[in-house]
Amino acid sequence: MKVFGANELLEDVFEKNLCIGCGACTYLCPYFRSYRGKTAILFPCNLTQGRCWAYCPKVEVDLDDLSERFFGRPYEKDPLGFHRSVKISKAGRQVSEGSFQAGGTVSALMSFALSKGYISAAALTDREGLRPVPRLAQSTDDILRCSSSKYTASPTLSALNQAINEGHNQIGVVGTPCQVLAIAQMRSNPMGDKDFSDPVSLVVGLFCTWAVDFREFDAFISERIEGSRITKVDIPPPPAEIMEVYTDNGKIEIPLDEIRELVPNTCSYCTDMTAEFSDISVGVLEGRPDMNTIITRTERGEKIVDEARKEGFLILDDIGKENLEHLIWAAGNKKKRAFIKAKQEGMLNAREEGARCYLRVRPETVEEIIA
Amino acid sequence: MASMQLAQDPYNIIITGVGGQGNVMASRVLANMLVRRGFNVTIGETFGASQRGGSVMSHLRVSATSSWSPQIPRGRVDVVIALEPTEGIRVLKDYGNPQVKILSNKRAIRPVGVIAGELDYPSMEEIRGSVQELASSAWFIDATDEAVKLGNPILGNIIMIGALSGLGVLPLEREDFKEAILRSIPRDKLDINLKAYDIGRQIIKQNEDSTGN
Amino acid sequence: MSYLIDNTEGAQYLLMGNEAIARGALEAGAKVVCGYPGTPSSDIIESLAKIAKDMNIYVEWSTNEKVAMEVAAAGSFAGLRSMCVMKQNGVNVASDFLLHLAGSGTRAGMVLVSCDDPGALSSANEGESRFFARLVEIPLLEPGDFQEAKDMIKWAFELSEEIRNLVMVRSVTRMSHASGNVKFGKLPPGDVHAVFKCDGFILDPMEGAVMSLPVRYKHALQQEKIKKAGEIFEDCPFNSYHGPEKPEVLIITSSACNLYSREAIGILGVEDRVGLLKLGTTWPLPPELLKRHLSRTDKILIVEEVLPFLEENVKILAAEMAPEIGIKTFHGKNDGTIPAVGELNPDLVVGALAQIVGIDYKPVPDEYAEKAEGVPTSRAPARELTFCPGCPHRASFWSIHNALQLDGRKGFVCGDIGCYGMATLPCGFSTLKTLHAMGSGGGIASGFGKLGRLGFDQPVLAVCGDSTFFHAEVPALINAVHHNSDFTLVVLDNSGTAMTGFQPHPGLKVSAMGEDVTSVDIAEICRALGARVEIRDPFDLGETQETLNELIEDKAGLKVLILRQICALSPEKKAGKKYDMTIDDEICLGENCGCNKVCTRIFRCPGLVWDKEKMVTRVDDVICSGCGVCADICPEGAIKRKEVA
């Protein structure tokens, strides 16, 4: 991949409002920090190559490279990305009841991996009011505390980077597709570091169609709840088309169209709904609020899911044909729209010497997706 | 009345350095030594601001007759005392002339632009080269290092005054130094200052053979 | 015992111009002296404060210049010679009272000393105070050497009593901060008894009410006074002429420019062609003296700094006298012969004069000039101003900068002069975006804080020093609270008026004279105004930044954060290092991704040096003051601090 530095990152991502605030560039150095849902650059850095650039999921992402690296084949048009299986799941009896959304699959997987020693800590996203807060969980209780959906873009990878700084080398991460993409880049040692060893032992990806900008969301909600304390936020599976905000003064419902107004433009370039570079991806299941959809992608992902089932952490079932078709349709739609937009705006496969772009992928694949 | 004929009237001295090096004190002490010998001395001090980090220059004008402008005209300095070596070069470029002599401390104080990597600091060879290009005689002295040995780097300025006395271009007497320095320091610091003065004087006396290059 | 109170008549000392002014006040028997610190004026009060008790005089660092002038005026009204001292900007602050005082008149002699700073060597502007003398119709004197700086003060007191009005003496940096030989006169006996007589006829100048009313009567009286001063000036000993009977060129000058002009004539060797009229009395100009000199020449060069004050006044006289003296050619600032801005020096005057008399002057032989030109400027790299090693401001602005960057809404800082004014530069991370008069940061922030209804959504901070807080910040804060303006004031409290040399201010428990006084608490004032107040140590970077972000997000009107840490140059701190600092070369990341020299490239403390060979940072032990803050900047923990035993 082509690696540039902070100045180019500023120009290509920050100044073009493409930053989603995933946290991948934060805490690697003294210059990038997350604050209230946004990534801030404290001081300029003049290095020509930096990890901030290399990890960023919004610039110079070479999908073929990454796919070769993790799945041994170039990137293909499959709307779900490379995968070994798609099933439905929920937390098993070994997982204490949390306030998790849907089936609790993610909490179950992380609790299992931690209890078995597959990971020593998990980089997760907690919430303070509406504000997503990255957390490094080192116990099952910590994991369950972070269980609910956030719907806001979140700098989860700050917690990952801080964990690496602290010397952790067996880390589990739960992230959205953009975060999982950043992790994939990080794990492929883009800077060619001689002493590199992959510190990430499990990546659980979350399905995502979009996330809202925290600061705008906060202002939007604050106006409507007048000082009440938020206890939970939920978007029930389609066709509900509402967001439910639970507060200590009761529940309010907001039409999703109003919420979509708060989605940053950068999400419209995202080609990935199901976190295609994870070990395991998890999302909601249409029509079944008690269950999740679960996609296994890697060998180690498959192994963990299997063991978790055997040890009572996870309950698995087959996915219905209609559900699978709908999932493929939704993911394909997102991918196609994003590729068309990126292509129209000249953000794919820049060729000139020294030119930089958003995504690199074989042009044939792009044409197949767009067709 | 002035007790010794000056080589020039006024005889012009520039003490230059960086804020925090005791430049102002050095100029006062030197001037008071000369006032005790019956001279009129005018001191002008130039600094960008009183903080550390900026260049600080004192202009001393020694005359048998009157006060002079507190700023020395271009090309008219007779001897330069550089508490910091590159500051000596800066002064020579503006005030030097073919006869000028310079006493330079060797200890560098890097400007913040150098610390930040935006500018380069010249090597000692480059500094020597430029100084010798512009001065008729030059002496390089480890004043700060000697002062650190005495326990306080600030004494570098006194070592430089001692060195100037060793040149013999001005009627600088140890007794006058003693009286003049006591206007600036408590009596219990007198001995260490006298020691610094003597060290400076010795450095010049020991190297008398190698002067003028 | 200070040499300043040596009562040996004829004793000779090397005095700074400001010390000469102080000695002049002593020889005049001044009993009340006050001012507000400001370079280049501060040493006057400082040297008098040290001997105030010995000499039985009252010396005060007042809250601001207007108050200083009022306190000094009380002395005059009570029959005591009194003096107030300030830099040029201070006269602006005092000017409201100044106008009233010039109208009411004074009793015992009263002198205002204003120290201007041509070239703004330590100022934020090139203020010109001489116009105030013309504006408020009081006499103006300008000393032309160090001896005069002393003698003129005494003479000014006598003049003030002669005309019963304030007399202004204007010095400049090159006079106040330069030193020269000064011969002492006698000190007067010190017995006085202060009393304010106010029971007489209301218009009685010595026993009535002191006021500028009735205006017509008092204004006419004031103009008689200034006219009388003009008459006295005709024979003033501080006006002198040197040169031929009928000079080809007449230089008219005053102040330090007198020394430059004298030297320029000598350098060019034109003593027989050029005359030098040096004026000590520059407002009002003595008309007969001017007529005498103007009539003997055709070309006039006026040498002065800042604004063409002398030039304009001489031209007015010359225009009025034209039928008698003929038409003259004037050179000076207006025609560009003398630079319009910046301070002068002998070389600039040589250049101006050489042009008029037609001499081609070269300071050094061409060959040498070429050699000097040939030495690259890189051999003496530029020295940008920076905060001192260990300066609390560097830490404060680090946190302010980071808090604003994290916030991300393009917040900024409004401020004023003081060391922290350097936060406009990289040493303060270029955080300060407006810089004006003392206290203006708060006033401007108060304005920005009300623009929300007009679409403004940037966070606003203001900074001021502790001394500035008392000087001029409080009215701005009252304005902000009253109008519910939303901003955060950061008080950079370093326990003294640090920039000018640690003069005490109302927040401290000791006065200029070293007496115990009541301290006024900044936090209590702010709380009393209704502001949310937090106090932090700026050396605790994390807590300071967190507090700042919290305050910036708090929309509850005025918030005040007091950052308390003593100035690194304070005698207390200079006494010893708190920490010994070292670098672990093994850990230092240097230029690598993950650091890229944050300590030397960004934090830029002069105590840290980038070692190009080893590619690591080093501590310069001679310069490092051991504050320990850089250890918290280092992302890898390579900078170690160890408490000094």
Q: Please, how many CA atoms are within 13 Å of residue C217, restricted to the half-sphere of its CB?
A: 9
Which of A7, A42, A166, A222 should we substitute to test contact with C (largest number of C Cβ atoms within 10 Å)?
A42
**C378, B70: Cβ pair inside 8 Å?**
no
The verdict on C568 and C580 lying in the same domain is no
Describe the crossing of helices C42-55 and C17-27 by its angle, rounded to 10 degrees. 40
Identify which of B50, B69, B112 has the shortest CB distance to residue C499: B50
Query: What pLDDT score does A148 carry?
Result: 77
Identify which of B40, B73, B122 has the shortest CB distance to residue C347: B73
One-letter identity of residue A156: T
Q: With beta carbons under 8 A apart, name residues in chain A contacting C635.
A: 29-30
Check pLDDT > 90 for residue A138: yes
Query: What pLDDT score does B210 carry?
Result: 45
Q: How far apart are CA B18 and CA B16, in angstroms?
A: 7
> pLDDT tens digits, residue range C102-119?
999 999 999 999 999 999
Identify which of C14, C365, C422 has the shortest CB distance to residue B32: C14
Q: Judging by beta carbons within 10 Å of its beta carbon (0-12, 13-18, 19+), is residue C409 exposed, middle or buried?
A: exposed
Identify which of B50, B90, B115 has the shortest CB distance to residue C604: B115
Query: What pLDDT score does C299 carry?
Result: 98
Query: What pLDDT score does C634 carry?
Result: 97
DSSP C563-606: EE---TTSHHHHT--SEEEEE-TTT--TTSTTTSSIIIIII--T
Query: What pLDDT score does C60 carry?
Result: 97
Check pLDDT > 70 for residue C1: no
Query: What pLDDT score does B5 carry?
Result: 81
Identify which of C408, C429, C593 has the shortest CB distance to residue A29: C593
Check pLDDT > 60 for residue C164: yes
Q: Comparing B211 with A111, which gets the higher pLDDT? A: A111
Q: With beta carbons under 8 A apart, name residues in chain B contacting C350.
A: 73
Number of neighbours of residue C457 by Cβ within 10 angstroms: 9
DSSP C161-183: HHHTS-EEEEEEHHHHS-EEEEE
Determine contact: A49 vs chain C, CB below 8 A: yes
Q: How far apart are CA C239 and CA C230, in angstroms?
A: 12
Q: Which residues contact C17 (CB under 8 A, 6 or more apart)?
A: C143, C146, C149, C171, C175, C176, C177, C178, C179, C180
Determine contact: A51 vs chain C, CB below 8 A: yes
Identify which of B117, B120, B133 has the shortest CB distance to residue C601: B117
Instruction: Report DSSP state, residue A152.
Output: B
The verdict on C54 and C145 lying in the same domain is yes
The verdict on C276 and C411 lying in the same domain is no
Q: Comparing C627 with B45, which gets the higher pLDDT? A: C627
Check pLDDT > 80 for residue C644: yes
Which of B115, B128, B182 should we substitute to test contact with C (largest number of C Cβ atoms within 10 Å)?
B115
Instruction: Report DSSP state, residue B53.
Output: T
Average pLDDT over residues A247-264: 92
Determine the 3-state secondary structure of A122 from DSSP: strand
Q: Which residues of B115-150 are buried (b: 16+ CB within 10 A; e: fewer)?
A: bbbebebbeeebbbebbebbbeebbbbbbbebbbeb
Q: How far apart are CA C44 and CA C25, in angstroms?
A: 10
The C-alpha of B206 sits at a distance from chain C's nearest C-alpha, in angstroms, of 27
Domain membership flag for residue C146: yes
Domain membership flag for residue C376: no
Domain membership flag for residue C382: no
Average pLDDT over residues C224-235: 98
The C-alpha of A190 sits at a distance from chain C's nearest C-alpha, in angstroms, of 13
Q: Is C496 left (phi over 0), alpha (psi -120 to 50) or beta?
A: left
The verdict on C559 and C602 lying in the same domain is no
Q: How far apart are CA C52 and CA C54, in angstroms?
A: 6
Query: What pLDDT score does B1 carry?
Result: 46
Q: Which residues contact C434 (CB under 8 A, 6 or more apart)?
A: C412, C413, C414, C415, C440, C441, C444
Q: Would you list the domain boundaries of chain A?
A: 6-213+263-370, 214-260
- Taking Cα atoms as reference points, which of C496, C461, C489 lies closest to residue C475? C489
The C-alpha of B198 sits at a distance from chain C's nearest C-alpha, in angstroms, of 22
**C594, A29: Cβ pair inside 8 Å?**
yes
Pick the CATH number of A214-260 from 3.10.450, 2.115.10, 1.10.155, 3.40.50: 3.10.450
The verdict on C50 and C166 lying in the same domain is yes
Determine contact: A288 vs chain C, CB below 8 A: no
Identify which of C405, C594, C596 has the shortest CB distance to residue A41: C405
Check pLDDT > 70 for residue B50: no
Domain membership flag for residue C363: no
> pLDDT tens digits, residue range C48-67?
999 999 999 999 999 999 99
Identify which of B54, B73, B122 has the shortest CB distance to residue C385: B54
Q: Which of C175, C202, C233 is the last residue of a domain?
A: C233
Which of C596, C629, C633 should we substitute to test contact with A (largest number of A Cβ atoms within 10 Å)?
C596
CA distances (Å), origin A172, targets A67, A135, A278, C108: 20, 12, 11, 85
Residue that the structure tokens 């804060």 belong to: C477
| Three-state secondary structure string covering B142-167 | CHHHHHHHHCCHHHHHHHHHHHHHHH
For chain A, give me the number of helices (H) and strands (E)? 12, 15
Domain membership flag for residue C377: no
The verdict on C489 and C589 lying in the same domain is no
Average pLDDT over residues B52-64: 89
Domain membership flag for residue C386: no
Query: What pLDDT score does B209 carry?
Result: 45
The verdict on C508 and C583 lying in the same domain is no
Q: Is C299 left (phi over 0), alpha (psi -120 to 50) or beta?
A: beta
**A40, C408: Cβ pair inside 8 Å?**
yes
Q: With beta carbons under 8 A apart, name residues in chain C contacting B111.
A: 381-384
Split at pLDDT 50, 70, 90, the class of C160 is very high
**C375, B92: Cβ pair inside 8 Å?**
yes
Helix (H) or strand (E) segment spanning residue A225 = helix A214-225
Q: What angle do CA C426, C429, C435 make, to 5 degrees?
A: 85
Determine contact: A47 vs chain C, CB below 8 A: yes
Check pLDDT > 90 for residue C210: yes
Structural domain range at position C462: 392-572
**A51, C594: Cβ pair inside 8 Å?**
yes
The C-alpha of B144 sits at a distance from chain C's nearest C-alpha, in angstroms, of 9
Check pLDDT > 90 for residue B129: yes
Chain A adjacent subunits, 3+ CB pairs under 8 A = C
Q: How far apart are CA B116 and CA A32, in angstroms?
A: 20
- Taking Cα atoms as reference points, which of C470, C484, C401, C478 lies closest to residue C443? C478
The verdict on C121 and C159 lying in the same domain is yes
Report the domain count for chain C. 4
Q: How far apart are CA C26 and CA C10, in angstroms?
A: 15
Is residue A32 a contact partner of residue A41, using CB atoms and an 8 Å limit? yes
Determine contact: B177 vs chain C, CB below 8 A: no
The C-alpha of B39 sits at a distance from chain C's nearest C-alpha, in angstroms, of 9
Query: What pLDDT score does A8 carry?
Result: 97
**C383, B119: Cβ pair inside 8 Å?**
no
The verdict on C62 and C188 lying in the same domain is yes
- Taking Cα atoms as reference points, which of C548, C541, C525, C573 lies closest to residue C462? C548
Q: What are phi and psi of A366, to 5 degrees?
A: -60, -45
Check pLDDT > 80 for residue C498: no
Number of neighbours of residue A220 by Cβ within 10 angstroms: 17
Q: With beta carbons under 8 A apart, name residues in chain A contacting C407.
A: 35-36, 40
> pLDDT tens digits, residue range B130-158?
999 999 999 999 999 999 999 999 999 99
The C-alpha of A15 sits at a distance from chain C's nearest C-alpha, in angstroms, of 13
**B69, C379: Cβ pair inside 8 Å?**
no
Determine contact: B1 vs chain C, CB below 8 A: no
Q: Would you list the domain boundaries of chain B?
A: 11-142+169-182
Task: Find the range with the poorest average confidence among A358-367, C134-143, C518-527, C565-574.
Answer: C565-574
**B45, C178: Cβ pair inside 8 Å?**
yes
> pLDDT tens digits, residue range A34-60?
999 999 999 999 999 999 999 999 999
> pLDDT tens digits, residue range C244-300?
999 999 999 999 999 999 999 999 999 999 999 999 999 999 999 999 999 999 999
The C-alpha of A216 sits at a distance from chain C's nearest C-alpha, in angstroms, of 13
Determine contact: A153 vs chain C, CB below 8 A: no
Kindly tell me the sign of the dihedral angle through the C-alpha atoms of C470, C475, C481, C484.
negative
- In whole angstroms, what separates CA B74 from the centre of its chain? 18
> pLDDT tens digits, residue range C303-321?
999 999 999 999 999 999 9
Q: How far apart are CA C463 and CA C549, in angstroms?
A: 15
Determine contact: A227 vs chain C, CB below 8 A: no
Q: With beta carbons under 8 A apart, name residues in chain B contacting C389.
A: 52
Identify which of C405, C594, C596 has the shortest CB distance to residue A42: C405
> Could you give the ipTM of this predicted complex?
0.94
Check pLDDT > 70 for residue B30: yes
CATH number at residue C250: 3.40.50.920
CATH superfamily of B11-142+169-182: Pyruvate-ferredoxin oxidoreductase, PFOR, domain III (3.40.920.10)
Q: With beta carbons under 8 A apart, name residues in chain A contacting C596.
A: 29, 31, 45-47
Split at pLDDT 50, 70, 90, the class of B159 is very high
Q: How far apart are CA A97 and CA C43, in angstroms?
A: 76
Determine the 3-state secondary structure of A126 from DSSP: strand
Instruction: State the average pLDDT for chain C.
Output: 96
Chain C adjacent subunits, 3+ CB pairs under 8 A = A, B
Q: With beta carbons under 8 A apart, name residues in chain C contacting A38.
A: 408
Q: How far apart are CA A35 and CA A33, in angstroms?
A: 7
Is residue C60 a contact partner of residue C68, using CB atoms and an 8 Å limit? yes
Check pLDDT > 50 for residue B212: no
**Structure token pair of residue A16:** 């073009």
Instruction: Report DSSP state, residue B123.
Output: P
Identify which of B31, B119, B134 has the shortest CB distance to residue C381: B119
Residue that the structure tokens 């003595």 belong to: C286
Q: How far apart are CA C296 and CA C292, in angstroms?
A: 7
Identify which of C406, C429, C594 has the shortest CB distance to residue A35: C406
Is residue B35 a contact partner of residue C13, using CB atoms and an 8 Å limit? yes
Q: With beta carbons under 8 A apart, name residues in chain C contacting B116.
A: 426, 600-602, 604
The verdict on C622 and C527 lying in the same domain is no
CATH number at residue C554: 3.40.50.970
The verdict on C503 and C532 lying in the same domain is yes
